[in-house]
Amino acid sequence: MTATQIPISVVAIGDEEEQLVLEVLRSGRLAQGPKVEELERRFAAAHDVEHAIAVNNGTTALVATLQGLGIGPGDEVITTPFSFVATLNAILETGATARFADIGDDFCLDPAAVEPLLGDRTRVVMPVHLYGLPADLPRFDQLTRDRGLALVEDSAQAHGARIDGRSVGSFGAGCFSFYATKNVMCGEGGMITTNDAALADRIRVLRNQGMRAQYEYEVPGHNYRLTDLQAAIALPQLGRLAQINEARRSNAAYLSEHLRDVPGLRLPEVPAGREHVFHQYTVRVTAEASVDRAGFVAALGERGVRAGIYYPRLMHDYDCYREHPRVVVDETPVALQAAAEAVSLPVHPQLSGADLERIVAAVTEVLR
Ligand SMILES: *Cc1c(COP(=O)(O)O)cnc(C)c1O
């Protein structure tokens, strides 16, 4: 048994981040300022969009975007049931109603499953680029355009991911997170991307107490601002995004190559045209496996490999949502099965060659 543990995620802070944070500390400008502005500019460029608006986390990115679109009570937002709960909480925060369509084999919202749920109250379709894999954006783009609906992309796990060469967050409004475990991070932080100048403007006003000029309140707003201290951490990471994503992709390729023939294991597939950025490398432990999922995760843990379950249940499958008047649940069998089978293996850029070998050996040993 090996003593060292291979964690599911690692916070990697370099000299550049340290230097820039010191620079901000010494400048005395700690709140939103020039570093946030620079982060917005560079984030927009990296995602081929005209506007990027920084906010204080990924959840408020979703909330502010929905508010900027004028979504509120009486409106319906259709999303996936298989995501982090922030996706659902953001919808409820606006007063809107959440509905859930099933996912496909790619773990992402299935456009074909969304169609039958569209009704008079539907205003937004909100796919999640789960684990770093872009959802089928060309089809969501078509579907929402045809019906005059808004497309909001929960891109919290997919910085820099592309589909047919086009960046996530450039089809609809993109909502990104810089939480400590994400591909670009600064502890807590978020970003909204859009090519809609009017939407960008409304979000900027909402972010700052509804204020356009000092003490000129246009709408009741909020404080969704990011700080320059946080931007100083995110900026160097954004500069390294291509390398970060490439390291994740290369680790994922190694795992897929070496785990190909393990019985009871289904590996992540990447549909043609999509560039996965592997925020997570998520396999399925199927009914054919020699152990159940809990046993698999426990056995990996004994071998020093920290696997994660994202997510053990559907987002709405908790008491606090069961009787909620604005949570409407339809059957989603594919998502239900994913929630029962999914296990994420370490794939982060800090893995060494030896770590990857250990992960492969552990998985193979447990399932053979
Ligand atoms: C992390 C995450 C969020 C929320 O981001 P925070 O920055 O933690 O608020 C939303 N959606 C998904 C899919 C996430 O993974």
Per-residue pLDDT of the chain (368 residues; tens, 9 = 90+): 456 999 999 999 999 999 999 999 999 999 999 999 999 999 999 999 999 999 999 999 999 999 999 999 999 999 999 999 999 999 999 999 999 999 999 999 999 999 999 999 999 999 999 999 999 999 999 999 999 999 999 999 999 999 999 999 999 999 999 999 999 999 999 999 999 999 999 999 999 999 999 999 999 999 999 999 999 999 999 999 999 999 999 999 999 999 999 999 999 999 999 999 999 999 999 999 999 999 999 999 999 999 999 999 999 999 999 999 999 999 999 999 999 999 999 999 999 999 999 999 999 999 98
**Residue 9 lies inside a defined structural domain of this protein:** no
> What's the 92 CA to ligand 1 centre distance in angstroms?
15
Task: Note whether 179 and 254 are same-domain residues.
Answer: no
In terms of domains, do 92 and 173 share one?
yes
- Give the sign of the dihedral formed by CA 309, CA 128, CA 359, CA 237: negative
pLDDT of residue 26: 97
Asked whether 87 lines ligand 1 (CB < 6 A), one says yes
Residue 128, ligand 1, Cβ within 6 A: yes
Report d(CA 78, CA 88) in Å as an integer: 10
Asked whether residue 4 is domain-assigned, the answer is no
Question: CA 138 to CA 249: how far, in whole Å?
Answer: 23
- 209, with CB counted inside 10 A (0-12, 13-18, 19+), is middle
- The domain in which residue 160 lies consists of 15-239
Query: Contact, 232 vs 37, CB < 8 A?
Result: no
83 lines ligand 1 (CB under 6 A): yes
Ligand 1 centroid distance, CA of 357 (Å): 30
* DSSP assignment of 160-199: T-EETTEETTTTTEEEEE-BTTSSS-SBS-EEEEES-HHH
Q: Which of 278, 335, 280, 310 is nearest to 79 (CA)?
A: 335
Q: In this structure, is residue 258 part of a structural domain?
A: yes
pLDDT at 182: 97
Nearest atom in ligand 1 to 178's CA: 7
* Structural domain contains residue 214: yes
In a domain, 2, yes or no: no
* pLDDT at residue 238, as a whole number: 98
Same domain, 46 and 179: yes
For residue 254, what is the domain's CATH number? 3.90.1150.10
Instruction: Establish if 201 belongs to a structural domain.
Output: yes
CA of 84 to the centre of ligand 1 (A): 7
B/e letters for 9-43, b = 16+ CB within 10 Å, e = fewer, are beeeeeeebeebbeebeeeeeeebeebbeebbebb
Structure tokens at 112: 């074909």
Secondary structure (3-state) at 274: strand
Atom from ligand 1 closest to the CA of residue 62? 10
Phi, then psi, of 205 in degrees rounded to 5? -70, -45
CA–centroid distance, residue 348 to ligand 1 (Å): 18
Check pocket membership of 122 for ligand 1, CB cut-off 6 A.
Answer: no
169 and 195 inside one domain: yes
Q: 170 with 193: CB under 8 angstroms?
A: yes
φ, ψ of residue 213 to 5 degrees: the values are -115, 165
Identify which of 126, 124, 112 has the alpha carbon closest to the alpha carbon of residue 76: 124
State the closest ligand 1 atom to the C-alpha of 59, by its place in the atom list counted from 1: 9
Decide: 222 and 59 in contact? Cβ < 8 Å. Answer: no
Q: Cα dist. 337→285, 305, 308, 340, 345 in Å?
A: 10, 24, 17, 5, 18
Q: Give a yes or no: residue 3 inside a domain.
A: no
- The CATH number of whichever domain residue 152 belongs to comes to 3.40.640.10
List, in sequence order, every residue forming a beta bridge with 281; answer none if it has no partner: 345
Q: Is the CB of 110 under 6 A from ligand 1?
A: no
Same structural domain, 341 and 208: no
Nearest-atom number in ligand 1 for the CA of 90 is 10
Residue pair 257/175 in contact (Cβ under 8 Å)? The answer is no
Residue after which a domain boundary falls, among 202, 217, 239? 239
How far is residue 257 CA from its own chain's centroid?
25
Same domain, 256 and 109: no
| Helix 228-239, helix 34-46: angle, nearest 10 | 30
For residue range 217-274, list pLDDT tens digits in order. Answer: 999 999 999 999 999 999 999 999 999 999 999 999 999 999 999 999 999 999 999 9
User: Could you tell me if 233 and 273 lie in one domain?
Assistant: no
Distance from the alpha carbon of residue 176 to the mean position of ligand 1, in angstroms:
7
Ligand 1 centroid – CA 87 distance (Å): 7
Closest by alpha carbon to 279, among 114, 168, 145, 118? 168
Q: Are residues 220 and 282 in the same domain?
A: no
For residues 174 and 210, state if they share a domain.
yes
pLDDT at 3: 60
Nearest CA to ligand 1 atom 14: 156
Choosing from 179, 191, 226, 314 the residue with most ligand 1 atoms within 8 A of its CB, the one to mutate for a pocket test is 179
- In this structure, are strands 173-177 and 190-194 parallel, antiparallel, or unpaired? antiparallel
Q: Which CA distances in Å does 330 have to 19, 152, 182, 221, 319? A: 51, 21, 30, 33, 16
Query: Which residues, in sequence order, are CB contacts of 296 under 8 Å at separation 6+?
Result: 285, 289, 307, 343, 366, 367
223 bridge partner residues: 208
Atom of ligand 1 lying closest to residue 182 CA: 1
Q: Do 87 and 201 lie in a common domain?
A: yes
Q: Which atom of ligand 1 lies at the shortest distance from residue 157's CA? A: 15
**What's the structural domain count of the chain?**
2
Q: What is the pLDDT of residue 138?
A: 98
On the CB side of 360, CA atoms within 13 Å amount to 18
| Boundary (domain end) residue, out of 190, 214, 239 | 239
Same domain, 356 and 268: yes
Does 234 share its domain with 363?
no
Whether 19 maps to a domain, the answer reads yes
Q: Is 153 in the pocket of ligand 1 (CB under 6 A)?
A: no
- End-to-end C-alpha distance for the chain, whole angstroms: 18
Q: Is the peptide bond before 311 cis (omega within 30 degrees of 0)?
A: yes
Single out the residue in 216, 239, 262 at which a domain terminates: 239
- Provide the whole-model pTM: 0.97
